[in-house]
């Protein structure tokens, strides 16, 4: 390592030698940097899983415009929308079709555990509003009290999920009704439930007798190829009589949902603060290590200064120490965080994963935080006189 650093810096790696002079203190410093990295990695991993889980349901459907109630901040929140606005929207020449989307939660009691399933009610006669995978399985939804289940539902054994097929359906009791599951699809547990289930709109209304077919949760619209969904949505806002409705492009609705989850919901704000706290912890730890090192070698630095070495030389030494701490502290932090995220994913089925983008971002942040700590730690040297240092 000494030879490598000597080759990189073109001089004796004084910072490296000072850090490794006390191996115990060096190990403690690396552990501190690694801990800060783990903290940031985990918080970013949870934030990333929140984004993935929030956007996942939007992948189940194919739509260009979504009409929602005024208080619908997310796909699963807000009031109902009168179906009559669907017929008004169809008056626009660029709107080629529309359908109502019903959403509700059902509980599936499985022995000691009860699964909460976010259930979508769709018109199986309009498979064009479903994703390609879902559309291929929509024919089974035409049967009364039939459904297809999220194979990655939290608390559902994988073997049991894999056995659900049209030739070997699974029956269950939800909301006092016997529901038959004929197939599965890939979803994954989110923050609002253990998994997803897709049923026909008629089956949905049987599960939720208080709901009315004339009032779905959202209205999905498709426009002709080449039409701009934002432009059509703007026209629909003037065309539809109820001006309180949220009429947005489908992609914009998904973006608004994600922004709401990350900046308005308590969980998103807490995870964001967790990232900030992790960065501050890393800066404080590295600053303490470097400032202590500067104080312990003040005499040596004074000697160099009296010999005519410039401030740039001392900055080079401290930044060399910061670079060593950043790189060597990042590696164990990355390894531990990858293991923790994998364990958390196995336990919760949340889409937690270490991605190259997050790893690169945290590494760059570690370098920046260590460099900032090093710059702060050299302030005393910059204003000191060699005579005062002795």
Please report, in tens digits, the pLDDT of each residue of the chain (390 residues total): 777 777 777 777 777 887 787 788 788 888 888 888 888 888 888 888 888 888 999 999 999 999 999 998 888 888 999 999 999 999 999 999 999 999 999 998 887 788 899 999 999 999 999 999 889 888 899 998 999 999 988 888 888 888 999 888 999 888 788 899 999 998 876 777 889 999 999 999 999 999 999 999 999 999 999 999 999 999 999 999 888 999 999 999 999 999 998 888 777 778 778 778 877 877 787 777 777 777 777 777 777 777 877 778 878 888 888 888 888 888 999 999 999 999 988 887 788 888 888 889 888 888 888 788 777 777 766 666 666 555
- 279: CB partners within 8 A, 6+ apart: 36, 40, 365, 369
The pLDDT of residue 388: 59
| 3-state DSSP of 6-18 | HHHHCCCCHHHHH
The pLDDT of residue 274: 78
CA distances from 280 to 37, 38, 263, 274, 384 (A): 11, 13, 21, 10, 27
Please give the model's pTM, rounded to 2 decimal places.
Answer: 0.77
The pLDDT of residue 285: 77
The pLDDT of residue 96: 95
- Rounded CA-CA distance 38/356 in Å is 15
Half-sphere exposure of 119 (CA within 13 A, CB side): 28
The pLDDT of residue 384: 60
């Amino acid at each position: 390592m000494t030879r490598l650093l000597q080759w990189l810096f073109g001089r004796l790696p004084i910072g490296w030698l000072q850090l490794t002079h006390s191996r115990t203190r060096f190990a403690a410093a690396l552990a501190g940097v690694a801990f800060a990295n783990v903290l940031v990695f985990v918080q970013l991993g949870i934030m990333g899983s929140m984004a993935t889980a929030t956007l996942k349901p939007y992948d189940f459907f194919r739509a260009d415009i979504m009409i929602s109630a005024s208080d619908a901040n997310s796909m699963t929140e807000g009031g109902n929308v009168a179906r009559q606005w669907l017929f008004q929207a169809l008056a626009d020449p660029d709107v080629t079709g529309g359908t109502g989307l019903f959403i509700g939660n059902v509980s599936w009691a499985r022995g000691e555990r009860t699964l909460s399933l976010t259930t979508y009610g769709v018109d199986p006669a309009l498979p064009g509003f479903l994703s390609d995978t879902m559309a291929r399985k929509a024919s089974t939804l035409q049967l009364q009290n039939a459904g297809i289940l999220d194979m990655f539902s939290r608390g559902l054994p994988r073997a049991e999920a894999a056995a659900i097929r049209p030739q070997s359906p699974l029956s269950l009791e939800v909301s006092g009704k016997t529901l038959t599951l004929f197939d599965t699809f890939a979803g994954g547990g989110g923050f609002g439930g253990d998994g997803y289930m897709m049923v026909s709109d008629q089956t949905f209304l049987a599960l939720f007798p208080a709901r009315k077919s004339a009032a779905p949760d959202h209205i999905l619209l498709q426009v002709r190829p080449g039409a701009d969904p934002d432009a059509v949505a703007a026209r629909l806002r003037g065309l539809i009589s109820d001006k309180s409705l949220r009429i947005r492009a489908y992609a914009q609705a998904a973006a608004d949902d994600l922004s709401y989850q990350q900046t308005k919901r308590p969980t998103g704000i807490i995870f964001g603060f967790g990232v900030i706290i992790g960065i501050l912890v890393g800066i404080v730890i590295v600053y303490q290590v470097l400032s202590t090192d500067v104080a312990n070698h003040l005499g040596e630095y004074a000697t160099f200064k009296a010999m005519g070495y410039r401030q740039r030389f001392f900055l080079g030494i401290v930044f060399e120490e910061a670079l060593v701490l950043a790189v060597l502290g990042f590696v164990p932090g990355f390894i531990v965080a990858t293991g923790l995220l994998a364990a958390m994913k196995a336990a919760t089925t949340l889409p937690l994963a270490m991605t190259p983008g997050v790893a690169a971002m945290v590494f760059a942040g570690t370098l920046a935080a260590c460099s900032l700590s090093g710059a702060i730690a050299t302030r005393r040297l910059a204003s000191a006189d060699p005579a005062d240092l002795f």
